[in-house]
Amino acid sequence: MDDDHEEGEEYLFKIVIIGDSAVGKSNLLSRYARNEFNLHSKATIGVEFQTQSIDIDGKEVKAQIWDTAGQERFRAVTSAYYRGAVGALIVYDISRRTTFDSVGRWLDELNTHSDTTVAKMLVGNKLDLENIRDVSVEEGKSLAEAEGLFFLETSALDSTNVKKAFEMVVRDIYNNVSRKVL
């Protein structure tokens, strides 16, 4: 069924995670890639990435997921960070409105450094902090609709929707690529 692909051909997709400091970017990645969560994680400086293998319809797809690793505190996420990205998670913290207000700025930056076909997921993290929620689900949803983004609320703390958030992006990229090949 897959005659367009050489035997053993690999799919490797670069995905970046962006959003304000302390929204939970590093913990979303560590929860997804290593099933780890850190209550007092400190931002380390310098870019880091993790490579994760995902099975999509029997095909092995690799996602190389990049974490800003603290660069964003200095508004210094470089163009190298975005280079070659085909997917992005734009993360805010549902308990901190200022982080939601920043989403537009992150989208602008992403659009400046990458092309428009990047698969984008808006992620409202810290869903476990429902009792101090500061951004409604509807607000997240309508922003995502207006900007053409996927949308999920997640919790890196209790794992809600974490796998789904990454894998919906990977699946969308894969579908676009295989559509082009056919």
Q: Which chain residues interact with ligand GDP by CB under 6 A? A: 21-27, 38-41, 43, 125-126, 128-129, 155-157
Give CA–CA dist 12/2, Å, rounded. Answer: 17
| 23 vs 149, beta carbon nearer ligand GDP | 23
Nearer to ligand GDP, 61 or 167 (CB): 167
Query: Least separation, in Å, of the C-beta of 129 and ligand GDP?
Result: 5
- What binding mask, one character per residue, do residues 43-62 give for Mg ion by CB under 5 A, x or -? x-------------------
Interaction between residue 102 and Mg ion (CB under 5 A)? no
Q: What residue number has its CB nearest to Mg ion?
A: 26
Provide the minimum distance between the beta carbon of 9 and ligand GDP in the complex, in angstroms, as a whole number.
Answer: 33
Report, in Å, the least distance between residue 11 CB and ligand GDP: 27
Query: Of 140, 136, 133, which Cα lies nearest the Cα of 95?
Result: 133
* Structure-token pair, residue 166: 């990454």
Measure the CA–CA gap between 21 and 92, rounded to whole angstroms. Answer: 9
Amino acid letter, residue 37: F
Other CB atoms within 10 A of residue 139 CB: 14
- Asked if 33 touches Mg ion (CB under 5 A), the answer is no
Name which of 25 and 31 has its Cβ closer to Mg ion. Answer: 25
Amino acid found at 182: L
Q: Which of 24, 26, 92, 121 binds Mg ion (CB under 5 A)?
A: 26
Query: With CB under 5 A as the contact rule, which of the stretches 8-16, 40-48, 56-64, 122-130 interacts with Mg ion?
Result: 40-48
Task: Indicate the residue among 61 and 123 with the shorter CB distance to Mg ion.
Answer: 123
Residues 6+ apart with CB under 8 A from 34: 50
Q: Angle at CA 84, nearest 5°, toward 170 and 121?
A: 40
- Residue 152's closest CA among 131, 126, 176? 126
Integer Cα distance of 106 and 124 in angstroms: 14
Specify the residue, 106 or 174, whose C-beta has the smaller distance to Mg ion: 106
Residues that bind Mg ion (CB under 5 A): 25-26, 43
